[in-house]
Structure formats: C-alpha cells, structure tokens
Amino acid sequence: MQLAEVILLWAIFLAFQLAKVSYVKCSLGWTLVYIGQAIFCLGTSAAFVSYQYHKMLDHPDNVDPELRAILTAGGHHDGHPDGTAGMVRTLLNCTGLMALAGATAGLLGIGGALIFNPYLLALGVNPQVVASTAVLMILFSSSSIALSLNFIGLLNQHFAAVFAPLAFICSLLGVLIVGRIIRKTGRTSIIILILAFLIIVGAISTLIFGGLRAEKKLLAGDFGFRPFCSTK
C-alpha cells in the first residue's frame, strides 16, 4: 500500500513537470503550475509527517519498528512533554534533511543518500535498512529528476542509454556481493564502511574535478550565474 502511494505521488509530480513544459518559463501559466507543484509537495510532506506523528502517539503498536526507532531517538515515548518534544525534533530533523537531500540531488546531480544515510545510521537504524531505504528513495528521486530534465531537453539520452543499463547491472552485483559477505561474516557494519568510503571518495572527486572545471569556466569569463527565467 505504501509503495502504491509513493508511485502515485511520483506520477503526480511528473504530471506537474510535464505541465510546466507546455508553458514558457516564468509565464503566468508556468508560475501557477510551479506554485501548485510546490504546494502539493509541501502539503503532502506535512500531511505525512503529521499522520505518522499522531499515529505514533495514538497507536504506537501499529508503527513500523524502524520508524518508531527513528522517532524515539530524540526522546522517549513516555507521555511526558520532554519525550514528545524530542520526537518532534527528530521528526522535523528527518523531514528537513530529506528535503535537503532531494534539493541537493536536483541541483547538483549527486546522490541524496550521501546526506541522509549518515544521519539515519547515527540514529541507530539497521545499516541494511538504511541501504534499502536509500535505494528506494534514489529510485524515485533520480527518475523524477531525469524525466524532468528530459522534458526540458537537458538529458543526454545517448549517455543515459549507455550508463543506465551498466549502473543497473553493477547495482545488482553490488547487492549480491555485499549480501553474501554479510551472510558469511554476520556483520552488517561492512555497509557502514562501504558508505564511509564512498562518501570520502565522492567528496574528494567532486572537489578535484569540480574545482578544475570551475577554474576553466572562470578563466573563460563564465561565472555560472544566469537569470532564473532564462530559457538557455
């Protein structure tokens, strides 16, 4: 049921993106669709957060164990104000962090998991649950971003046709290899080590290659800033 809801939200988001393409950027129609999309996304997130929070208070036995662990990480669910305040803080922190991860993925093209995975691990969530959650979130966020960019003509379809199948195959191999290692050793900490390694490598690579590219653009007089309403 939850997966069906996520797919429905994903489809509605793409419908908004497709609607924006039919208007000139910053025109009245485009602006109205953009505002509607923002209201829909923020309203849906707020409704979900409110629903989960009240469900935690009223029916704690029906809450997913991992979600309960996250919500109670900031305060004990004991009916006291301090415990409730801690739950609210944790819930808001998670929501804000996920929003930041999605925005960063859309703006910079990096994986949002680099942002929210360490936080979930710090809350004590099982590493395998963190990894599977990240994969599901990235599936919907990256596909939404890719299709959105394709709608406005910014997706290199030739590159996508080559690298998408390769990434899919490598992902399957990674799951099989890591799963086999965990079954043999019985230690899920290997996922944390892999995540840490990838975060470090990603940060260093971004700094080096991004810096070199920025230097070339700056020397060429391109400061990278263009008007928001520019169609280029």
Which one is predicted more confidently, 90 or 80?
90
Residue 38 lies in a domain: yes
Residue 27 lies in a domain: yes
Rounded to the nearest 5°, which phi and psi values hold at 228? -60, -35
pLDDT bucket at 79, cuts 50 / 70 / 90: very low
Q: Which domain holds residue 109?
A: 2-155+188-219
Rounded to the nearest 5°, which phi and psi values hold at 190? -60, -30
Residue 93 lies in a domain: yes
Report whether 144 contacts 10 (CB < 8 A): yes
Distance, in Å, from the CA atom of 81 to the CA atom of 57, rounded to the nearest integer, reads 12
Residue 59 lies in a domain: yes
For residue 32, the model assigns a pLDDT of: 93
Structure tokens at 12: 């509605």
pLDDT tens by residue, 159-187: 888 888 888 888 788 878 877 887 788 77
Structure tokens at 133: 């959650």
Count how many domains the chain has.
1
Q: Please compute, for residue 50, the number of CA atoms within 13 A of its CA located in the half-sphere on the CB side.
A: 6
Residue 163 lies in a domain: no
Residue 81 lies in a domain: yes
pLDDT tens by residue, 90-126: 777 777 877 777 777 666 666 666 777 777 777 777 7
How many residues does this entry show for the chain? Answer: 232
Structure tokens at 65: 């164990």
Structure tokens at 153: 């003509």
- Distances in Å between the alpha carbon of 160 and those of 23, 200, 213? 26, 26, 22
Residue 120 lies in a domain: yes
Residue 32 lies in a domain: yes
Angle between helices 127-151 and 2-21 (to 10 degrees): 20
Q: Which pTM was predicted? A: 0.63
